[in-house]
Structure 1
Amino acid sequence: MSDDRQTRTEKLASEIADAILDGTLAPGSRLDEHMLAARYGTSRTPVREALRQLATTGLIDLRPRRGAIVAEVTSGELEMLFVAMGELEATCARLSAMSMTPIERRRLGALYDSMGEMVAQDDVPAYTSANTTLHAMFYAGTHNPVLAEMTAGLRRRLGPFRRAQFRAPGRLMLSHAEHGAVVRAVLAGDATAAHAAMLHHVSLVEDAFEQLAGTAMEPTPRARAG
């Protein structure tokens, strides 16, 4: 797939995901390719590719002879996914603090600093893209390809939910501050602080999404760094 085509597909997948998360496309709705192509002013091919992407996130089900259906994602399922995400990302941050090379640390610090300008300009698209890159740096910084692949895969599954948090007022600034705690710990080589800061960050990402979606989840016992 060419870069332009991939970008169009990812943008379309993001727009469909937003429509699902804000309730425009309700759970159980059938996602007709013709309808979506007309709605978003595109052809069926990128729609089909976008639906395949979304199927990996659990937002939709692809069923034989029925096509794509908006899935019913329960609060309990999201809770389990976010707990797993938090543990994996916290482990990546801890190992990054121990294993990142000097060059990787400089690049991490430079990206984090550049994101401050995005926050100042309230540039949500740029920040969202940089946010993905920042977290990918933590995965790569583990120098453990197995852990990096597992964490990236779960992040893709939670991608639409994590992107949705940035619609919450003031979330960009808070996200940047939370990242700051993780970045400073990693740059200082403080593995314990990096683990705690990342675990805290992912728990707040979950909270931001819950508040935005108006979801009342029953809390389950789990350790949350403060």
Structure 2
Amino acid sequence: MAAIPNTLRIRNALENAIVEGVYLPGARLDPEALEREFDVSRTPIREALHQLEASGLVRVVPKRGTFVTEWTPSELAERFEVMAEVEATCGRLAARRITEAELAALEQVHQDCRRHAEAGEVEAYYARNSDFHHCIYRATHNAFLEREASRLHAMLQPYRRMQLKVRNRMARSFAEHDAVVAHIRGGDAEAAATALRDHVIVQGDRFHDLIAATRKG
């Protein structure tokens, strides 16, 4: 029975470490080191890594080990394309369904993002940026969509985090958030969808900047 809570604890800790950049894309996860770190046997480590593989955050390479997922440029572009459409759907539904309490929570997170952006605090902005998107997912009042959006969001977090370190990207990100909030506040579903799609999609120069950032990492 102890393996179940241990597996969940380890999975959550490793997911957070990947999302926060402790383990970068391409990094190898050493099961023996993880056993020592979490003071557990191999079984919960193996189960946690299996769950992370199922979520897309890690890849198991036969005879080599388990690695934080690292996508080719074309694979990365495909995933951002899907994420952009999912976020657009979330924006559309949130603009129709958001409650006053949910809108107040979104506005508060947005103001926190403003403060961090103006102070140049990338890491703090990154954390609240994630909260911003999750506020929108919840406001769809569609539990399945919220889960799928959250899964994709976690999968792409290491790359979205890198993207924020591109010159002037944080300021542009906040300006894009500002438009999203205005459209959701005004109940303009199609404008909110378009603003979120444009915010998430990485094309042209933005895509080249992201690839350059991953190579620096």
Whether TM exceeds 0.5 here: the answer is yes
Question: What corresponds to 1:133 in structure 2?
Answer: 131
Pair 1:88–1:43, CA change in 2 (3 A): same
Q: Which AA in structure 1 matches 2:151?
A: G
Q: Please, what TM-score do these two structures have when normalized by structure 2?
A: 0.76
Looking at structure 2, the residues matched to 171 and 129 of structure 1 have their Cα atoms a distance apart, in angstroms, of: 15
Partner of 2:176: 178
* 8 Å contact kept, 2:95–2:189: yes
Q: How far apart, in 2, do the equivalents of 1:206 and 1:101 lie?
A: 36
Instruction: Say which is worse superposed, 181-190 or 114-123, in terms of deviation.
Output: 114-123
Between the aligned partners of 1:11 and 1:84, the Cα distance in structure 2 is 22
8 Å CA contact retained: 1:85, 1:202: yes
Q: Does 1:104 align with 2:110?
A: no
Pair 1:195–1:104, CA change in 2 (3 A): same
Once residues 181 and 110 of structure 2 are traced to their aligned partners in structure 1, the CA distance between those partners, rounded to angstroms, is 8
Q: What is the SS of the residue equivalent to 1:18?
A: coil
Range 192-201 or range 117-126, more displaced? 117-126
Residue 119 of structure 2 is aligned to residue 121 of structure 1? yes
Residues 1:15 and 2:13 aligned together = no
> Deviations along 1:86-133, whole A, 9 cap, x unmatched?
001011001111110111112211221121111122222221111111
SS of 1:92's equivalent in the other structure is: helix
Instruction: Give the whole-Å Cα distance in 1 for the aligned partners of 2:103 and 2:203.
Output: 24
Selected match of 1:43 from 37, 48, 59: 37
Q: Name the count of aligned residue pairs.
A: 202
Aligned to 1:224: none
CA distance in 2 between partners of 1:75 and 1:146 (Å): 29
| Displacement after TM superposition at 1:66 (Å) | 4.3
Structure 1 counterpart of 2:191, which letter?
A: A
CA–CA separation in structure 1 for the residues paired with 2:133 and 2:67: 30
Q: Sort the Cα spacing of 1:11 and 1:178 in 2 relative to 1 into closer, same or farther, 3 A.
A: same
Q: Distance in 1 between matches of 2:131 and 2:14?
A: 19
> What is the one-letter code of the residue matched to 1:150?
E
SS of the counterpart of 1:214? helix
Matches within 5 A, 1:70-219: 73-204=71-202, 208=206, 210-214=208-212
- The unaligned stretches of length 5 or more in structure 2 are none
Cross-structure match for 1:55: 53
CA gap 1:206/1:198 in 2 versus in 1, 3 angstroms: farther
From the superposition, tell whether residues 71 and 103 of structure 1 become closer, same or farther in structure 2 (CA, over 3 Å).
closer
Q: Match of 1:180, SS? A: helix
Quote the sequence identity (%): 33
Conserved? CA contact 1:57–1:158, under 8 Å: no
SS at match of 2:109: helix
RMSD: 3.3
Deviations 1:51-93 (A, max 9, x none): 5676356453225664314655222211211111000101100
Which runs of 5 or more residues in structure 1 are unaligned? 216-226
**Does structure 2 retain, via aligned residues, the 8 Å contact 1:119–1:172?**
yes
Cα distance in 2 between the residues matched to 1:163 and 1:182: 20
CA gap of 1:79–1:140, structure 2 versus 1, over 3 A, is same
Alpha-carbon contact 1:85-1:155 (below 8 Å) kept: yes
Q: Is the 8 A contact 2:122 2:164 kept in 1?
A: yes
